[in-house]
Chains A and B, each alone.
Chain A
């Protein structure tokens, strides 16, 4: 099978934007093309993550509009991917598979989303549509609620006092905000303290406001190509060494929420394909939609033993200068979470890290990086292993 590389990446500033989804995507896409030394007319397909465009702007089937917007040709298929928060990572993965198979030589993947115009009530309602529409929705469950249940179950399972777990969780938020200060594209560039988290309003017990990532606007785009034909266009192509994607049913069937079958399956596949293990990873962008989500992700990705992540976080192992830096971009927590664009932005960060272009937030000598994105109530998880080529 062919080696597949990322030639270039582009990303808008995350936050509250008055640009439309198409305008944001065009900005990110044109930057990515520029970096890649590829013309839009040469792109053979577009794979784009977009989750709630229907509710945000009354726009369905956005992908062909985006392709037209940047000047792609009618021969190039353009397709929207909807896998809740994992949409863009799944779009990237499918772009990689199309190039790897030989169907295409050079394509674009990415995502765009404009959540903020919905306002909190509509946003909360539409986000909750990721739950099972017959057997979960009518309980009034929310995404923070599901992760609140994860936290309570985690504390009980490992016999950790809830207060200790919450302190470690607050540490995740503090660390990611600290990293966000160093990222010019982050939604929030402001340090917070443990007290900021623990004194913020309760959202879904035991999660407080600062345990939760924001709703953001933003877009990101990535040019993916056959290595043999395209690698010489750029100075530092990045190899997509392995990918994985897993699926799982409703929360009530998953039972132990501290172990997510879709994530463990997805990570295993990506590691195997890349021929690496957790100890080979130098930098990680993972799905910290809530602080407890980062805790459990670290364990399921094999970075720490089950039940050991809170202690490792308290030790500073995941800090920018720690043993394994996690979410140097600021993560969803501080960089922001434009749901359908998130996976592409995580990929953007790892590419920049592996190229050594991250300035003050650069992880020293990063050669192998991991992207982990979770969609819905852990019903879709997608994993990418990237490395210098």
Chain B
């Protein structure tokens, strides 16, 4: 019987310990984060747990000025390309969101994380979001 290679729960635990956990494909070498059931490049199920260095570059971003319930705008959402290849979504922190501009593109960042406690009115599980800080 197969088992999910790196669950959301395990991913969150790794982040809480200061790691950026992910998977490496034993067949083609692809790095995968956030985790997936199979290799996102070749489809193999031969995946092993690995850690990513947590360094990358901003590839695009937006400033959310009108957010969903439970979020406090303005804040920056960015897509970051990790040095190992995968792209991850998260919040750029430590930058004045209100005046963020195109000069952020391709800036180098370090990846961290932030736990979002579940509110009593919400179903689901406690969340976690990757955070990016400019180097």
Binary flags per residue of A46-64, CB closer than 8 Å to B gives 1, else 0: 0000000000000000000
Q: Can you name the residue of chain B whose Cβ is closest to the Cβ of A136?
A: B89
Extra A-B contacts (18), CB below 8 Å, given A125-B69, A140-B129: A120-B66, A134-B34, A140-B67, A140-B73, A140-B91, A141-B77, A142-B66, A142-B68, A145-B64, A152-B62, A156-B60, A156-B105, A162-B102, A204-B63, A204-B64, A205-B65, A250-B89, A255-B87
Interface hits, A207-229 → B, CB 8 Å: 207
Within 84-135 of B, Cβ neighbours of A (below 8 Å) are at 86-91, 100, 102, 105-106, 116, 124, 127-130
Contacts of A257 in B (CB 8 A): 60, 79
Which B residues lie within 8 Å of A255 (CB)?
A: 59, 79, 81, 87
Report yes or no: B89 in contact with A140, Cβ–Cβ below 8 A: no
Chain B at the A interface: mostly helix, strand, loop or mixed? Answer: strand
| B124 and A133 form a contact (CB under 8 A) | yes
**CB-based contact A128/B68 at 8 Å:** yes
8 CB-based A-B contacts, threshold 8 Å: A125-B68, A136-B89, A153-B59, A156-B60, A204-B66, A205-B100, A252-B87, A255-B79
Instruction: Please determine whether A141 and B69 come into contact, CB atoms closer than 8 angstroms.
Output: no
Q: Is A359 an interface residue (CB 8 A)?
A: no
Q: Tell me the complex Cα distance, A88–B83, Å.
A: 40
Chain A, 123-147, contact with B by CB distance < 8 Å: what is the 0/1 string?
0110010000111111111101110
The yes or no answer to B40 lying at the interface (CB within 8 A) is yes
A148 interface residue (CB < 8 Å to B): yes
Q: Which of A135, A203, A255 has the most CB of B within 10 A?
A: A135
Q: Are A152 and B68 in contact (CB under 8 A)?
A: no
Query: Is A149 close to B, CB under 8 A?
Result: yes
Q: Does B8 touch A at the CB level, under 8 Å?
A: yes
In Å, the complex CA distance between A144 and B86 comes to 24
A95 vs B122: C-alpha distance in the bound complex, in angstroms? 36
* Max chain A Cβ within 10 angstroms of own Cβ: one of B62, B73, B106, B124: B62
* B8-49 contacts to A (CB < 8 Å): 8, 34, 40
A203 touches B60 (CB 8 A): no
Q: Judge whether A251 is part of the interface by a CB distance below 8 angstroms.
A: yes
A145 pairs with B60, CB closer than 8 A:
no
How many angstroms between the C-alpha atoms of A121 and B121 in the bound complex? Answer: 15
Nearest residue in B to A253 (C-beta to C-beta)? B40
Question: B77 to chain A: closest CB distance in Å?
Answer: 5
Q: B102 and A138: CB pair below 8 A?
A: no
Q: How far is the CA of A137 from the CA of B8 in the complex (A)?
A: 13
Contact of A138 among B63, B78, B116 (CB under 8 A): B116
Q: For the complex formed, measure the closest distance between the CB of B72 and the CB atoms of chain A, giving whole angstroms.
A: 9
Q: How far is the CA of A138 from the CA of B8 in the complex (A)?
A: 13
A171 to B112, CA, bound (A): 40
B-side contacts of A149, CB under 8 Å: 60-62, 77-79
- Contact at B60–A253, with CB atoms within 8 Å? no
Query: A274 at the A/B interface (Cβ < 8 Å)?
Result: no
Q: How far is the CB of A254 from chain B (nearest CB, A)?
A: 8
| B68 & A252 in contact (Cβ 8 Å cutoff) | no
The answer to whether the Cβ of A358 comes within 8 Å of any Cβ in the partner chain is no
Query: When each residue 101-128 of chain A gets 1 if its CB lies under 8 Å from chain B and 0 otherwise, what string results?
Result: 0000000000000000000111011001
Instruction: Check: A155 CB closer than 8 A to any chain B CB.
Output: yes
Measured in the bound complex, the distance between the Cα atoms of B62 and A270 in whole Å is 33
Residue of B nearest to A148 (CB): B62
Bound: A148/B59 CA distance, A: 13
